[in-house]
Amino acid sequence: MSISMGEWVTLVLGSFPLLGLLLWWWNELWYVLPLKLRHSPTGAKLPPGHMGLPFLGEIFTFHWYFKIVRRPDDFINAKRAKYGDGVGMYRTHLFGSPTIIACFPGINKFVFQSDETFILDWPNVDIVGASSIVAVHGKSHTKVRSYVVSVINRPDALRRISQLVQPRMVAALESWALKGRVKGYHEARKVTFENIGKLFVSLEPGPLLDTIDNLFTGLVTGIRAHPLNIPGSAYRHALQCRKKLEDIFRVELEKKKTLKEGVTNDLMDGLMQIKDDEGNKLSDQEVLDNIVSLVVAGYASTSLSTMWTLYYLAKYPDVLQKLCEENMAIHENKTGEFIMYEDVLKMKYTNKVVEETIRLANIAAFVFRLATKEVEYKGYKIPKDWRVIVWVRYLHANSENFDDPMCFNPDRWNEPAKPGTYQVFGGGSRICAGNLLVKIQLAVFLHHLSVGYKWKLVNPDAEMIYLPHPLPVDKVDITFNKI
Ligand code: HEM
């Protein structure tokens, strides 16, 4: 019996809906069905949601909200509308893994506090270094973290750093005014990296620092790339950049060994010299790995938050006015060119502007964890080996947590945020190790900016991009002049 052409066409067309249904349900059958069939003694179930298409999961929906319609928070709003609130957990498949999204304070806290169950699992840790703070766990992490925090995030360190960064900030602002029109993002990156050079390894601007900057750009690109070590791949290029950076930093490290202790007093010195209670020091490799990871963690985050201060203050002149008043009062009473750490502690309004900038900018939108075992939270289970994405951005953009959340309003910080709703720096034992460092840098920058300069956005209605970080498309194009 032969099948006619017409019957073939009908068969093929008729199978499309079936094929579509199969694709739509494939991930649900593959990942969810076996878990549902397994009896749970407590009756816990998987969080609501949908696992999307095979391999791709919900990546198109994610891109739809983040790249096409540019309303990133509607990715979660759509889930809440479709599946209900529950406890703020949804199942999905994103970035190549079955995933639980956590977006309410309670579940976020649970994830952050259970750090043996939910481990930090950086992709391609070989690029930042196996003994870097972000690569180690348990006791090793506690040890490395205590060294790192001592040299960048304690009052003594902050006092010193607040002095070291000001000359380059002042020089940068003067150079912007001379140019008259600048891209805030590019200039913020430049001054941030100059300060990183000075703070980390006592390097002045010049060809070596430019080389290091380029190498870091290559290195960062490879962190989230597919780990394919073949010619031309971003991963291989990142490994090569890492190797060259390590060579450069090793030369600096060896130079320091021949100098008297504390001659340069930079972060590399700090990491080399600091001892724990038993007198143990970090090894050379630990110092190098942690210098690399601190630059990775601090470079983009500090540049972007500096850029956002320019943007928000241009958009909110009333805030700028109040900021100017507070800083002028300090400026008029100070003796030298630079402000002191103690001045910054007194700058109440400036510190609220810093907090509000970091809340609204949402530079780190998500925090990634890996579930090392199956756990339950309020009747829902998080399966072993699934990724957990703590969607911190949603906390800060949710009107249940912050009134009029998209408005830049430093005065909201007259009261502390509701518990668990402000997680810009993550939480638990992995909370950002540079949170005070970035705040002090922003505060001193705001001081010099507000007392000496005026600026305007060239495109006040510029569209936003949200990936990999939030940024106006024109990179904050501004006219910039002395007052
Ligand atoms: C506005 C700026 C910043 C934001 C929003 C931010 C955000 C974060 C977040 C959310 C985490 C937690 C990641 C996780 O748990 O997986 C983190 C960790 C970290 N951050 Fe920051 N960060 C900022 C600036 C900085 C700076 C300036 C430095 C240092 C130069 C720094 C160093 C670190 C380090 C070392 C960690 C890893 C801590 C650990 O694993 O123990 N960050 N940051």
Judge contact between 296 and 129, C-beta under 8 A: no
| C-beta atoms surrounding 63 within 10 Å | 13
Mutate-to-test residue for ligand 1 from 369, 425, 429, highest number of ligand atoms within 8 A of CB: 425
Interval 295-342: pLDDT, tens? 999 999 999 999 999 999 999 999 999 999 999 999 988 878 899 999
Specify if 273 maps to a domain.
Answer: yes
| Number of compact structural domains in the chain | 1
Separation of alpha carbons 82 and 292, rounded Å: 43
Specify if 301 maps to a domain.
Answer: yes
The residue whose CA is least distant from atom 9 of ligand 1 is 425
Token output for 74: 């509607």
Interval 30-51: pLDDT, tens? 999 998 888 778 889 999 999 9
Segments forming the whole domain that contains residue 262: 120-362+397-482
| pLDDT for res 373 | 95
Nearest to 465 by CA among 304, 357, 355: 304
Separation of alpha carbons 95 and 99, rounded Å: 9
Specify if 192 maps to a domain.
Answer: yes
Specify if 60 maps to a domain.
Answer: no
| C-beta atoms surrounding 392 within 10 Å | 24
89 three-class SS = strand
Specify if 459 maps to a domain.
Answer: yes
Token output for 215: 């190498």
Separation of alpha carbons 23 and 472, rounded Å: 36
Mutate-to-test residue for ligand 1 from 199, 432, 445, highest number of ligand atoms within 8 A of CB: 432
Atom of ligand 1 nearest to the CA of 368: 16
> Does 103 show up as a binding residue in the annotation?
no
Any residues with Cβ below 6 Å from ligand 1, and which?
120, 133-134, 145, 148, 152, 294, 297-298, 301-302, 305, 358, 363-364, 367, 424-426, 430, 432-434, 437-438
What averages of pLDDT result for each successive group of 10 residues across the chain (483 residues)? 78 83 90 86 92 95 97 97 96 96 97 94 87 92 90 90 95 97 97 93 91 93 87 93 94 86 77 84 92 92 98 98 96 86 94 98 96 95 96 97 97 96 95 96 97 97 95 97 94
Judge contact between 51 and 32, C-beta under 8 A: yes
Specify if 53 maps to a domain.
Answer: no
Q: How far is the CA of 430 from the centre of ligand 1 (A)?
A: 8
Looking at 114-154, list the stretches that DSSP marks H as alpha helix, in order from N- to C-terminal side. 125-128, 138-152
Token output for 213: 């900057």
| pLDDT for res 263 | 63
Q: What is the DSSP string of 4-22?
A: PHHHHHHHHHHHHHHHHHH
| pLDDT for res 122 | 82
| pLDDT for res 262 | 56
The residue whose CA is least distant from atom 18 of ligand 1 is 432
* DSSP tag of 45: B
Q: What is the DSSP string of 236-262?
A: HHHHHHHHHHHHHHHHHHHHHHHSPTT
Specify if 103 maps to a domain.
Answer: no
CATH code for the domain of 428: 1.10.630.10
